Structure 1
Amino acid sequence: MAQPIIQLSLAPELRLFAPAERRTEQTPVAIDGTSTLGHVVESFGVPLTEVGQLLVDGRPVPVSHVPGEGEAVEVRAVERPQRVPGAPLRFLLDVHLGTLARRLRLLGIDAAYEAEDCGDPALAALSAAERRVLLSRDRGLLRRRQIWAGAYVYSDRPDEQLKDVLERFTPDLAPWTRCTACNGPLRDAEKGAVQERLEHGTRRTYDVFAQCTVCDRVYWRGAHHTRLEKIVTDAIRTYGPHGTPTA
């Protein structure tokens, strides 16, 4: 007996996840009558973190819907900006997104980062325990049910990654308030209190310092400041202090 068929339509933004032969506007899909629509969508390679509204014959349904013969299913992308309810907006980044983590921290965004590959189960558990949005390019990791919330990072270029996260979540920006090394808060520091940590040239040249309240790392406007300032200026000009895109 032939399996029942549904017609599945992925939003254009989601087709990159599907195998090449399934990136058409509408694809016939065999179903077993027991698998949920969420399972069917994931079988196409699409993480549910990237899925917005699901429509069956034009009506909204949950991911738990079990599709039936002949249904027309439309899978829309998650709406942007995406609101994450119930907790202050905080992120957790996997081992491959270190540069993005540092840039988010530069903008004052709470971004935990696992420099060591602690494994998918541990990352999912940390996301749940601390209610952090897990950012990753690993679709398998984002399919773990334990994660509190997650998002696929679409580019492998740090500039585009930062733009993607800022556009999607519109976090509040507070530049120069977090340690880019450990994510801890920064405080102003008197030169005399940190001078033993400075090289001779730095002590002679700079007078304004900040220090991490967690790891004690000292910051000043050194050789890399111009490059970092551009990242900050571009983000504030484009998204404003509250992360909302400006005209």
Structure 2
Amino acid sequence: MSDFDGLRALVTGGASGIGRATAGLLAGRGARVAVLDLDPSAVDEPLYAFRADVTDDVLVRTAVEAAADALGGVDILVNNAGIGAQGTVEDNDDAEWHRVLDVNVLGIVRTTRAALPHLRVSDHAAVVNTCSIAATAGLPQRALYSASKGAVLSLTLAMAADHIREGIRVNCVNPGTVDTPWVGRLLDSAPDPAAERAALRARQPTGRLVTAAEVAAAIAYLAGPHSGATTGTSLAVDGGMQGLRLRPAGR
């Protein structure tokens, strides 16, 4: 496929997991792609790589400008950089709340703010935010993470309303539990990793974890030229978690 020929994309958190899958898919379909990441050392051609910390406005603005110069502009912004958190409202102190919200919410604000001048002059401007099933379903031991992703969902809708008349579409994807390095580390730290993985699989009606490639495909759809009438939308890629309520097997 070459539906992204001539388009220029910027992917934050693009060195691994969903971000890397997305960057590779967009490049494979014809886009010129720049990755912004805390550690972009593993990123190779044809991707462009830039180091950036989304909690630092100066570094973000510098990296976005460098990426725009390398690409010749920006048509697509994928706000994928994010971190996780576990626990109830009792378990994370104020510093951790500030840290997670700074990355997951303000990171989107900073990167989008820096990219807007470039998006405004694009004929195919699109922003896709990586949200989560945690924004729409109550998950145990995820109070802080859920709050951050709920904010991402609301922010997506507000951004879509603010920028629609500028020709900039804004959408988000809501993945379920994705088989990424971060989830792998989370499982490795559990008392019984095999049991924890089985529980995560069972939580999704499909009975398996979502793949990074599946989320990347959804991001590409929302970012692509064939979805020109789609904005202010959240697309669930969650194995049916959001809407399905299955009976126990065999009943």
Mark yes or no: TM-score above 0.5: no
If asked which structure has higher relative contact order (CA below 8 Å, sep 6+), I would say: 2
Q: Determine which structure has the larger helix proportion and give its number.
A: 2
TM class, shorter-length: under 0.3
TM-score (norm 1): 0.25
Query: TM-score, normalized by length of structure 2?
Result: 0.25
